Amino acid sequence: MKINSLDKLKKIRNEYQKNVCLRVNSTDSENSDIRIEILIGMATCGISAGAKDTFNAFQEELAKQGVNDAKVVSVGCIGYCHSEPTVQVNIRGREPVLYGNVKKEEVQEIVQKHIKGGNPIEALTLAINFERA
């Protein structure tokens, strides 16, 4: 499919927007198709800290605990090398939560308490607070 005009690009943008609007503003994203989104930082530094294991653990754990409306996405690094692997959990209608140092051992707790229970695990969270252009 060739995008051969600016209008077509905008059409595609609108079409796919519902896939990412949770990330742009999760507190105001009624029309998001996805209810829960788990972003895992998978750049070289994240991967060397075990992000691949974390990624797989999330997929297994979600299946095991019967959560079927959550999407696991691999993203680039957010720059917090000191706390790799980093995981961001976006739930529709709530503030996004960023976790640091999420090894595969931590995944079960995050899925159970936060994703199913709705209570973020304070001890693992990092403050996320910057402006994007």
Partner 1 sequence: MTKPQAIDVNPSFKENLPKEKFDELDSFVNNLETTRSALIEILHKAQKIFGYLPRDVQLHIARKLGIPGAEVFGVVSFYSYFTTKPRGKHTISVCTGTACFVKGSDKIIERVKEKLGIGSNEITEDGLFTLKDVRCLGTCGMAPVMMIDDKVFGRVKEEDLDNIINSYRNKEL
Partner 2 sequence: MVEISNNKKLLRIALRNCGLLNPEDIFEYIALGGYESLGKAITQMTQDQVIDEIKKSGLRGRGGGGFPTGLKWELTKKQKSQEKFIICNADEGDPGAFMDRSILEGDPHSVLEAMAIGGYAIGARKGLIYIRAEYPLAIARLSTALQQAGENGLLGENIFGTDFSFDIYLKYGAGAFVCGEETALINSCEGKRGEPNYKPPYPVEEGYWGYPTCVNNVETFANIAPIITKGAQWFASLGTEKCKGTKVFALVGKIKNVGVIEVPMGTTLREIIYDIGGGIPGGRKFKAVQTGGPSGGVIGEANLDTPMDYDSLISIGSMMGSGGMIIMDETDNMVKIAKFYLEFTMDESCGRCTPCRIGTKRLYEILNKITSRKGTMADLDALKQLAYMVKDGSLCGLGQTAPNPVISTMKYFWDEYLAFIKDVDHPRGEGRYTAKNKIGIRS
Query: Site residues (CB under 8 A) for partner 1?
Result: 44-45, 47-49, 81-82, 84
For residues 15 to 44, the per-residue mask of contacts with partner 2, x marking binding by CB under 8 A and - elsewhere, is: -xx-xx--xx--------------x-x-xx
Sequence-distant (6+) residues with CB within 8 A of 115 are 36, 38, 62, 67, 70, 89, 91
Instruction: Answer yes or no: are the C-beta atoms of 49 and 84 closer than 8 Å.
Output: yes
Nearest to partner 2 of 11, 64 (CB atom): 11
Nearest distance from residue 131's CB to partner 1, in Å? Answer: 22
At residue 32, φ and ψ (nearest 5 deg) are -70, 135
> What minimum distance in Å lies between the beta carbon of 104 and partner 2?
20
- Tell me the closest approach of the beta carbon of residue 50 to partner 2, in angstroms: 15
Element (H, E) at 104: helix 104-109
